């Protein structure tokens, strides 16, 4: 699949500093609350639960006292070369050339789950049930985000509704460009240790553009050629090594 480099505007992405991340889960809670992600009646069945953002715990595989632990938050990677898009027979998902965000159009989704099979990051969830929002809790929902119905796939959208709200405010002020702090997803805003940096990868003035140039920056499964726009930082070599299935000597040749 040929990579689409014809961005006509911004190219939003994020950098997550794993040396700062404590695995507290504040980003997960903020994501679920902001995007009306339902809590199932039985959350013990993880084959049926819905998560737009998950946190994975990894270790260096050593015994105490040499053991080290790191946490990897995993939203949708918002790939520049997304394998989920071309497999969708209903064109329910696409890459926006103006933002780089991979959208999910729920009213088009036919629930075939081809996109879930194609995504190597397991970033998509299927709705097995109608959203179990108890009666009387409607006022607690985010009005800009529609609850999803049974039988469709959903995923992280970088809180796209926040982008639309920021654009409306900017247009009202006669501006066409957003300031760096005007559009921030809920997960980045809620992180208590500021481990998540969000911004426009095409804008050299944004902090994220400098962070991705760090020698400690890496992406998950880069060898697949998906070109994810979610980057990670870690000063620990063993963490960076676990980001992909490196052959013998391959990791050293890339660093």
Contact (CB, 8 A) for 219 and 228: yes
In a domain, 182, yes or no: yes
In a domain, 118, yes or no: yes
In angstroms, rounded to a whole number, what is the distance separating the alpha carbons of residues 28 and 120?
A: 20
Query: Which residue range forms the structural domain that includes residue 132?
Result: 12-254
Q: Output the pTM of the full model.
A: 0.91
Indicate whether 73 pLDDT > 70.
yes
State the pLDDT at residue 44: 83
Indicate whether 36 pLDDT > 90.
yes
Indicate whether 70 pLDDT > 70.
yes
Taking residue 58's Cβ as centre, other Cβ atoms within 10 Å add up to 15
Band the pLDDT of 46: cuts 50, 70, 90.
Answer: confident
In angstroms, rounded to a whole number, what is the distance separating the alpha carbons of residues 94 and 71?
A: 29
In a domain, 1, yes or no: no
Q: How distant, in Å, are the alpha carbons of 175, 229, 237 from that of 211?
A: 27, 13, 17
In angstroms, rounded to a whole number, what is the distance separating the alpha carbons of residues 90 and 88?
A: 6
Contact (CB, 8 A) for 118 and 87: yes
pLDDT in tens, 95-129: 999 999 999 999 999 999 999 999 999 999 999 98
DSSP H/E element including 32: helix 26-34
In a domain, 52, yes or no: yes
In angstroms, rounded to a whole number, what is the distance separating the alpha carbons of residues 116 and 121?
A: 9
State the pLDDT at residue 9: 80
In a domain, 3, yes or no: no
**What CATH number does residue 161 fall under?**
3.30.70.20
In a domain, 196, yes or no: yes
Output the CA torsion 208→212→217→220 (10° steps): 90
In a 3-state reduction of DSSP, which class is residue 82?
A: coil
Indicate whether 4 pLDDT > 60.
no
Q: Which of 208, 230, 205, 211 is nearest to 219 (CA)?
A: 230
Indicate whether 3 pLDDT > 80.
no
State the pLDDT at residue 255: 65
DSSP H/E element including 57: strand 54-59
In a domain, 64, yes or no: yes
In a domain, 2, yes or no: no
Which residues lie across from 51 on neighbouring strands? none
Q: What is the DSSP string of 130-190?
A: ---PPTT-GGGS-TTSPPPPTT-EEE--SSHHHHHHHHHHHHHTT-SS--TTT---HHHHH
Q: Is 233 exposed, middle or buried (0-12, 13-18, 19+ CB in 10 A)?
A: buried
Q: How many domains does the chain have?
A: 1
């Amino acid at each position: 699949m040929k990579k689409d480099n014809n961005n006509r505007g911004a190219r939003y992405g994020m950098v997550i500093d794993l040396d700062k991340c404590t695995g507290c889960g504040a980003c997960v809670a903020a994501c679920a609350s902001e995007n009306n992600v339902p809590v199932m009646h039985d959350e013990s069945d993880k084959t049926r639960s819905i998560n737009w953002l998950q946190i994975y715990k990894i270790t260096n595989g050593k015994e105490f006292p040499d053991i080290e632990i790191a946490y990897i938050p995993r939203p949708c990677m918002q790939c520049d070369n997304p394998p989920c898009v071309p497999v969708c027979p209903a064109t329910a998902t696409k890459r926006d050339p103006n933002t780089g965000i991979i959208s999910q159009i729920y009213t088009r989704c036919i629930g075939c789950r081809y996109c879930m099979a194609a995504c190597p990051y397991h970033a998509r969830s299927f709705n097995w049930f109608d959203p179990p929002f108890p009666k009387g809790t409607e006022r607690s929902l985010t009005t800009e985000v529609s609850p999803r119905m049974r039988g469709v796939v959903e995923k992280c959208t970088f809180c796209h509704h926040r982008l639309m709200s920021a654009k409306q405010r900017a247009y009202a002020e006669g501006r066409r460009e957003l300031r760096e702090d005007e559009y921030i997803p809920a997960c980045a805003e809620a992180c208590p240790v500021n481990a998540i940096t969000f911004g426009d990868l095409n804008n050299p003035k944004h902090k994220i553009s400098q962070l991705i140039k760090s020698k400690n920056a890496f992406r998950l499964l880069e060898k697949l050629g998906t070109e994810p726009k979610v980057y990670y930082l870690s000063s620990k070599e063993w963490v960076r090594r676990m980001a992909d299935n490196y052959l013998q000597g391959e990791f050293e040749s890339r660093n």
